[in-house]
Structure formats: C-alpha cells, structure tokens
Amino acid sequence: MLRSIVLTLIVAGMAQAAPAAAAGVKVAVVAPVEGPFALLGKQIIDGASFQASDRGSEIVVIPETCDAAGADALTKALLAAGAEAAIGFLCTESLEATLPALAEANIPAITLSVRSDILMEDVLKKNWPLFRLAPSGKAESASIVAAITALWKDKPIALIDDGTIHSRELVESVRSALSEIGLTPVFTDAYRPAQEQQVSLVRRLVKSGATHVFTGGDRQDAAVIARDAQEEGASLTLLGGDTLNAADVSVPLADGVLALTLPDAAQSAEGKPVADAMRAAGIEPEGYVLPAFGAMSLLEQAKDQAEKDEKPLVEALLKGPYQTVLGPIAFDAGHERADNSYRLMQWQAGRFVPVADPAGAQ
C-alpha cells in the first residue's frame, strides 16, 4: 500500500495536475507475447501495467506477431478491445496494417520503437493518428553532425561504416551534412563487420592521419576497433551512434568510447523514483519498461487535457509538453518528439554516462 501511495504521488507530481493525478485511460498494449521478441514484449507489458489500475487506467494486451499474415486478426482485436489509445508496436508491419482502421476510429497509437522515416511520411500524407516516442533516424544524424561540428571541427576526421544499409545511410547522411558546412573527412571506408580483429583498418586510419573517427557500425565492431587501436598504440577517439548502446558480445567496450544515444531514464531525476519502485516490486526497469510506463502517463495526462478542452485525445496529444519518466514530452506537427532526445554519452565503468564537459570528448 505504501509503495502504491508513493508512486501515485510521483505520477501526480509529474502530471502537474492539481488537485488530482491525471485521468485513467483504457489502452491496448500491442506487444509480442511469444517468439523471439517475447522478452521485449514483456518489458512493454510490465511497464504499461505497473500501477495502471491504481491510477484508474486499464490495459488490454493485444499479441503482436510482426507477421503480415496476422494483420487482419491484429486489426480486429484492436478495434474490439474498446481502447481509447494503443501503445507498443515493435514492428513496422503491425502499424502499416492497423493504422488505417485506427484512423477511421480516431484511436491514437504510440510506437515505442519503430524508427522508419518513410512510415512517418505516410502518417502525414494519410493523416494517421500515430505518434512516435522513439527518435527518428534524422534526429540521430543531426545529433552526430552537431557533436562533430562542435567538438571536432579542427580535427582530422574519419567516417567508416560496416556496409549494412543502416550504417551506410547514417554515415552518408553525416558526410553530406558535414560537406555542406565545409568539413571534409581525411578518410572514408567501409569495413567488414563481425571480425575477430580490425588491425588493418586501424592501421589504415593511422596512415590517413585521422585521429577522430565516427563509426556507423554496431557495438561489437566498435569494441574491436577500440581494442585494436589501443594495442597498436594508436591515439583514436571513437564516436558511434545509438547502436553502441547495447550489450557486450565477446569484446568489452573500452572506457572513453563516445556515442550519441539515449540516456538511461532509470538514472534521471524523473525516472529514478519510479525505477526504484519497480525494482521493489520485482520488475527490472530495462529496455522498454520505462518508455511504456511513460507512454501510459503521457496518455493519462493527455486524456485529462482532452476532457478539459472537450477535444479528441488525438488533438490533446499535440498540446504538450507532458511530464513523464522520460522527461517532458511534446510532439511536433509531424507527430515526432519536439525535442531531440539523443545525448552525447561516454562509456565509463560499465555504462554510458553523460559527457558533462564536452571539452573532455575532444
């Protein structure tokens, strides 16, 4: 009971709604319950359901198969749930299948993970009620360019990718943006990913004169490059994108590696009290747990605003910002987060920490 009271006060404070907390809302939680993504689905369900009933909210779990063959069943289940909104959606296929029906029913959906920019273009063209908590690919690229411009403008820069579509497109986007402001890398290359060593790549980087390297590759490759650079005695400052925020595979990431990624909400002033309450209840606030909880809080506050304004929930979602465990959230006209949530982080002692002094990242 004490835990319930404490958390209710936390959420009421975040909502900034006096004298009571935000209104309860019935939400369809679309998430995998079996298969390879079941663990991620459980994180979404745990986060959405945590204390929902104590705040007057209700969730209805709708299994997500991420399979086009199950699109009709998913759409029917969503409409039959009687929900006022839907959250989750790990897969683009699920959204593409259900959004036309959700638009017709005027039911807003919030995706926690899908980052397709093409999908969001369709959202605007077709007036679909989709909002995205996950940052866009454009936001990631913009953050990387801003960091390089601010910190490495006078440094010999290298841009490398691992040949995959995501990595290649991200690096090309960064290269193009830097070119527009007159910054030309001294070295660009595509390396072969998932190798046990990258000594030849490190030697080519050193030979080019590059001292600061942006990689569009994943965490394992970045860890191998950082290790081999250290063993070769090469002084390379390594920066990566959000893919670096993952678990170690076979080589631990070296201290000092930089990444433009999302801060751990469980360590923030807004998120830590909720994360502590979750741990006390046996729920580890990892992955999608806190984003799902934040989406529920966001919808509760938006419903409260909708009732005050006598407007649809879709319109209220555009009226933020609303205070959540992820910080204040507002959506722009494109249904994207109005703020860029990427931050410059540095790997230290087993976790990414904010770079308090940007000069230290040089």
∠ at Cα 64 (59, 65), nearest 5°? 165
Q: What is the pTM of this model?
A: 0.86
3-state secondary structure of 127: coil
Task: Tell me if 162 sits within 8 A of 130, measured CB to CB.
Answer: no
Kindly tell me the burial class for residue 105, based on how many C-beta atoms sit within 10 Å of its own C-beta (0-12, 13-18, 19 or more): exposed
What are the phi and psi torsion angles at 189 (to 5°)? Answer: -165, 160
Fill in the DSSP letter of residue 361: G
* DSSP assignment string, 160-172: EE-SSHHHHHHHH
Tens of pLDDT along the chain (362 residues) come to 444 444 544 544 444 333 345 679 999 999 999 999 999 999 999 999 999 988 999 999 999 988 878 889 999 999 999 999 999 999 999 999 999 999 999 999 999 999 888 899 999 999 999 999 988 888 999 999 999 999 999 999 999 999 999 999 999 999 999 999 999 999 999 999 999 999 999 999 999 999 999 999 999 999 999 999 999 999 999 999 999 999 899 999 999 999 999 999 999 999 999 999 999 999 999 999 999 999 999 999 999 999 999 999 999 999 989 999 999 999 999 999 999 999 999 999 999 999 965 555 56
Rounded Cα distance, 319 and 43, in Å: 28
Give the chain's radius of gyration (CA, Å). Answer: 22
**Helix count and strand count (H, E) for the chain:** 12, 14
Task: Return the residue matching tokens 């747990």.
Answer: 289
Task: Return the residue matching tokens 């689905």.
Answer: 41
